[in-house]
């Protein structure tokens, strides 16, 4: 259940969602056009429940690792005292379909506002639970966590979207930068 502070932050983020979505998605549109262009095979493909859940699982791996790093300074598969004290699950990466990758980039945010830190912690816990649920539901059909770079990927997006700091932007640098990064993640999730 969202606290009053996290609800306020959610409302602030939602208010300007269209503007950021336009900037972020415009910058990614060129790359996505080629990947998303329908092919003869895609037009006749049918997707199983496992395909759809694995798509969601890949997105949850990305989101959960971002929030765990920001809130606790660790990835989803490496618990620390702060993450377990906050109720964040330690996730056993059990996905066996595909090649497992590692998570690079990212660090704990030096939060100065309790409300922003609370938002990060609460969201990390929830995203971790999403990964656990999907891994459990998929069982042996779960995809392995892919290689994720949570450092330079934000710099590329920030440069394309003309976010202040551009090529040196890091969502882990401050409360404000974290909120920009979180905003981008939530819009990508909603769009997917």
pLDDT in tens, 10-19: 554 444 444 4
Please give the DSSP secondary-structure letter assigned to residue 187. Answer: H
pLDDT of residue 20: 45
pLDDT of residue 24: 45
What is the distance between the terminal CA atoms of the chain, rounded to a whole angstrom?
Answer: 24
- Tokens 């459990």 locate to 136
User: Domain coordinates of the chain in residue numbers?
Assistant: 49-149
Report the alpha-carbon distance of residue 146 to residue 124 in Å, rounded: 19
* Separation in Å, CA 76 to CA 23, 113, 127: 29, 24, 9
Confidence band of 119 (pLDDT split at 50, 70, 90):
very high
DSSP string, 19-88: HHHHHHHHHHHHHHHHHHS--HHHHH----HHHHHHHHHHHHHHHHHHHHHHHHSS-TTS--HHHHHTTP
pLDDT of residue 22: 45
Please give the DSSP secondary-structure letter assigned to residue 143. Answer: B
Report the alpha-carbon distance of residue 142 to residue 79 in Å, rounded: 21
Confidence band of 118 (pLDDT split at 50, 70, 90):
very high
pLDDT of residue 43: 56
């Amino acid at each position: 259940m969202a606290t009053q502070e996290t609800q306020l932050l959610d409302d602030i983020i939602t208010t300007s969602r269209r503007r950021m979505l336009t900037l972020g998605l415009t910058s990614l549109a060129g790359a996505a056009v080629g990947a998303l262009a329908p092919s003869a095979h895609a037009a006749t493909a049918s997707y199983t429940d496992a395909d759809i859940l694995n798509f969601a699982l890949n997105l949850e791996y990305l989101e959960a690792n971002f929030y765990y790093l920001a809130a606790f300074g660790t990835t989803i598969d490496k618990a620390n005292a702060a993450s377990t004290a906050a109720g964040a699950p330690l996730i056993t990466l059990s996905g066996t379909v595909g090649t497992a990758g590692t998570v690079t980039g990212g660090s704990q945010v030096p939060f100065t506002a309790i409300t922003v830190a609370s938002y990060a912690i609460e969201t990390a816990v929830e995203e971790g639970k999403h990964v656990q649920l999907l891994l459990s539901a998929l069982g042996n059909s779960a995809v392995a966590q892919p290689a994720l770079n949570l450092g330079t990927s934000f710099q590329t997006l920030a440069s394309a979207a003309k976010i202040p700091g551009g090529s040196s932007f890091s969502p882990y640098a401050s409360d404000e930068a974290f909120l920009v990064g979180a905003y981008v993640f939530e819009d990508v999730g909603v769009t997917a």
